[in-house]
Amino acid sequence: MADESEKKVEASQPRRRRRPSPRIDQFRRTWYFFRRNTLAMIGLGILVFFAALFVSSFFYPADPTELTTYVATNGNPVNPNATQQQICTYEPGMGELPPGPNCYATPNGMPSVIAPTVNLHPATLGPLPFGSLTQNPGSAPFYDPFDGLVKGTQWSLTVSVGVVASGALIGILAGVVSGYYGGVVDEVVMRITDIFLSIPGLLLVIIVLAVLAGSVTSLWGRMSYVIFAFVVTWWPTYARIVRSQVLITREQRYVEAAKASGARGGRILRKHIMPNSIYPVFVQMSLDVGTVPLLIAAIVFIGFRLFPVTNFPEWGTIAALSSQPSVLSGFIEVCQSQQGAACTFPWWQFLFPGLTLFLFAISVSFFADGLRDALDPRLRR
Amino acid sequence: MRLWVYVVRRIILVFPVVIGVMTITFLLVSALPIPDRLASAFGENPRLSWNQYIACSRITPGENGTCLNPAYIRGTHQLGLDRPIEVQWGVYIYNTFTGNWGYVGNGSGVSTSVQIARGQPVVTVLGWFLPYTLELAALSLLLILIIAIPIGNLSAVNRNRPIDQAARVLSFSGYALPGFLLGSLLLMAAVILVGGPNVHSAFCSGQTSYSDFTGSWPPPQCFPGGISPTWLNHFVQSSPTGFPTVDAALHGQWFLALDTIIRMVIPAFVIAYGTVALLLRFVRNSMLEVLNLDFVRTARAKGLPEKTVINKHAGRNSLNVTITVLGLTFAGFIAGFPIVETVFQLNGVGRMIAYSVTQTPYDYGVIFGSTVLFTLLVVTANIIVDILYAFLDPRVRLG
């Protein structure tokens, strides 16, 4: 109602400002409908948090190419001259606590299991906020997942935005050309997308990377191959969406008018068809930004070496490392060998990396859902 | 158009797609180093090198330097690598269609069941592992239909009420929760719930309850005498059909057949979850559309009970969309198998994929073979969906 009275006030005043261009106008309208969707605003809020995390991760004082690795010292005091990060752990069966304040008893006697609540070295380290992350339960080394998840923001967001942006670029071009020109071009492009869409995405990424990047070990080289492989998998979806939209747009009156006034094909494509048929792509793009880390996680999980090092600080990789079948069975075996003793299950190892992935993906999907509702008048509730 | 004409036309139309997929894999295979290609095409042998040059001493003793490798020449000739690229393409397509998918490498393997695959033809090995995956797929498709359709209908009928909101949250979470995470969480929960604090198996003494929920079959220690039946270990020779449940039943081991199915339930649910999430929205929306149509109003007007209107009149008509979407998402559905089979250590095709990508160098024969196999499955599923669609909605084949 407030909106209507605003409009009246605007209408009664003499027009000084130029009326905003139709696209800015549309943006305002979209934002108005988007704002009223609670879930979408929650999603946007979480995304803003992740964006802030992305910026701050560049100032985070740690090596962004590898997870911070710790070695347990098994009751010996920490050696300040050692090259690796050390944590003094002490197994309950070892007798008296060794002298010195820096050792603590590990649950289940597993030196690699450290709960988030344990204050390790009050003076130097503090607790590991998300606990420890281990690949070999019961033995060293282990990682700091908090560290990795903060640093991983850079890689995860860079890769997913890179993939989605380049995939959408290719898809939009292919879709616009195929939808506008129709005929043989359309048939060829659509059959190609058919072919790509019938290969499961996970496998397509794997075969492209296994063949082309098998010997690439440099960080950025590997990263660009990863993005390339994902783009190969991703562009057909966008091409399909844009094409179906272009088929509708090209029959509109304004396109006819442009043709009648003598505009050439390229100009019509750029000025009339493209801007009016890419909105549905925005929805798909925002949804896919959340899907890419999930697919990365799945690929790393089945054991494919996506990144140059196994302990690469990227959300998907961390989540995949933390829930390997060997990790699970290792914990269970140690628990069973405790013979009646209480057994702490390291829930934090599974919870935090998974929660990061989940939060990101679900906020992105809230956002995309709100965007779709706001852009499509038929879906507004 | 008659239904069978439509079916035949649909099947013919699939060949360009299949050949296109094989062309993509061909292009990728051509980018491989030739020795790797030969090794995956003809099998690895410790006494046989696939390099272009080998030490001459092995052919004519006493000479120094290197000579052309006869095995290399023979191999490249058989694959047509010494001829133009279109011939190579033709040979590749011919080999793929006739089932010459190369050999599994001599990798160490990740488990006993995978180790028996060493050095065998890829087609044979995928043939051993496919039935399990198909059973799992059937079960999870069943779960998808059982879960998605009623909940979707419910949320359409109770539009914007709490049930609808709950279904929406379920659908969002299915999109955002990676399969391996959901699988690990459910596995952990099941292990801890069944095994208690000390995680001992409830069914097999001396084992952890982890073994009650992972693996296609119980570990050997759980069988009488500590050895699993021979037909299980060597499902090559003495398992008549390859389908684990059917085989167990044929051998008269009903308990084992039941056990196999119970072990499949959680994995099938994990695979189904993502698709259910996607399908829910579509079922709901198509149901909403159908509920507004005239014939539903007529059905209500003539006094049919609401249950009949929803289930018989509206429900059956909204089924078309459900089936179409199921066909479209089949590629995503089938990509869940490598993950879930890794989490639960099941002996399916996905496990072979996981095995092949962890080798150094990769087991290219298995990777490409399973890619082609999965694509064939997707394409077959799409054909089935189209035929079902034409069967359910006669307007399709008229157009």
- Which DSSP string corresponds to A284-319? HHHHHHHHHHHHHHHHHHTT---SSSTT---HHHHH
CB contact (8 A) between residue A303 and residue B177:
no
Q: What pLDDT is stored for residue B174 in this prediction?
A: 87
Residue whose C-alpha is closest to residue B179's, from B266, B279, B284, B280: B266
The average pLDDT across A66-74 equals 82
Q: Do A298 and B345 touch (CB under 8 A)?
A: no
Q: What is the per-residue pLDDT across B7-17, written as a single tens digit (0 to 9) for each?
A: 888 889 889 99
Q: Which of A323, A339, A356 would best serve as a mutation to test chain B binding (most B beta carbons within 10 A)?
A: A323
pLDDT (0 to 100) of residue B372 = 93
Q: What's the pLDDT at A1?
A: 43
Mutation target to probe the A interface, by most A beta carbons within 10 A, among B271, B357, B364, B371 is: B357
DSSP string, A330-375: HHHHHHHHTTTS-----HHHHHHHHHHHHHHHHHHHHHHHHHHHHH
pLDDT of residue A375: 81
CB atoms within 10 A of CB B369: 28
**pLDDT at residue B153 is higher than 60:** yes
CB contact under 8 A, B181 and A350: yes
The closest alpha carbon to A210, from A116, A293, A126, A305, belongs to A305
- Whether B198 and A340 lie within 8 Å, measured CB to CB: yes
First to last CA, chain A: 17
Better pLDDT: B105 or B46: B105
CATH 1.10.3720.10 domain extents, chain A: 30-68+152-381
d(CA B335, CA B322): 20
Q: How far is B254 from chain A (nearest CA, A)?
A: 28
**Confidence label for A208 from pLDDT (cuts 50, 70 and 90):** very high
Question: Closest to B184 (Cβ–Cβ): which among A191, A350, A366?
Answer: A350
- Does A200 sit within 8 Å of B208, measured CB to CB? no
What is the fold, at CATH topology level, of the domain defined by A30-68+152-381?
Answer: MetI-like fold (1.10.3720)
How distant, in Å, are the alpha carbons of A60, A209, A308, A365 from that of A212? 33, 5, 14, 32
Instruction: Annotate A246-277 with DSSP letters as a single string.
Output: HHHHTTSHHHHHHHHTT--HHHHIIIIIHHHH
Contacts of A197 in chain B (CB under 8 A): 331
The dihedral sign for the CA sequence A192, A198, A202, A203: negative
pLDDT tens profile A87-131 = 777 766 666 655 555 677 776 667 778 888 776 665 556 677 888
- B304 to chain A, minimum CA–CA distance in Å? 30
Which residue of A108, A187, A197, A211 is the best one to mutate when testing the B interface, meaning the one whose CB has the most B CBs within 10 A?
Answer: A211
Average pLDDT of the segment spanning A2-11: 51
- pLDDT, mean of residues A316-343: 82
- Residue A69 DSSP SS3: strand
Closest-CA distance, A343 to chain B, in angstroms, reads 7
pLDDT in tens, B380-399: 998 888 888 888 777 766 55
A36-45 mean pLDDT: 90
Whether residues B374 and A203 touch (CB distance < 8 A) is answered with yes
What are the residues whose beta carbons fall under 8 Å from the beta carbon of B281, sequence distance 6 or more?
B152, B171
In the predicted structure, residue A312 carries a pLDDT above the cut 70:
yes
* Residue A361 neighbours by CB under 8 Å, 6+ apart: A290, A291, A293, A294, B175, B176, B177
d(CA B27, CA B81) in angstroms, rounded, equals 13
Which of A156, A195, A230, A295 should we substitute to test contact with B (largest number of B Cβ atoms within 10 Å)?
A195
At B340-383, the pLDDT tens digits run 999 998 888 998 888 888 887 788 889 999 999 999 999 999 88
Per-residue pLDDT averaged across B27-42, rounded? 89
Is B172 in contact with A333 (Cβ distance < 8 A)?
no
Give the residue on B whose Cα is nearest the Cα of A305: B358
Mean pLDDT of chain B, nearest integer: 84
Q: Contacts of residue B181 in chain A, CB cutoff 8 Å?
A: 297, 319, 323, 350, 354, 357-358
pTM for this entry: 0.89
Question: Average pLDDT for residues A259-270, to the nearest whole number?
Answer: 87
Calpha distance B179→B337 (Å, rounded): 10
pLDDT of residue A142 exceeding 80, the answer is yes
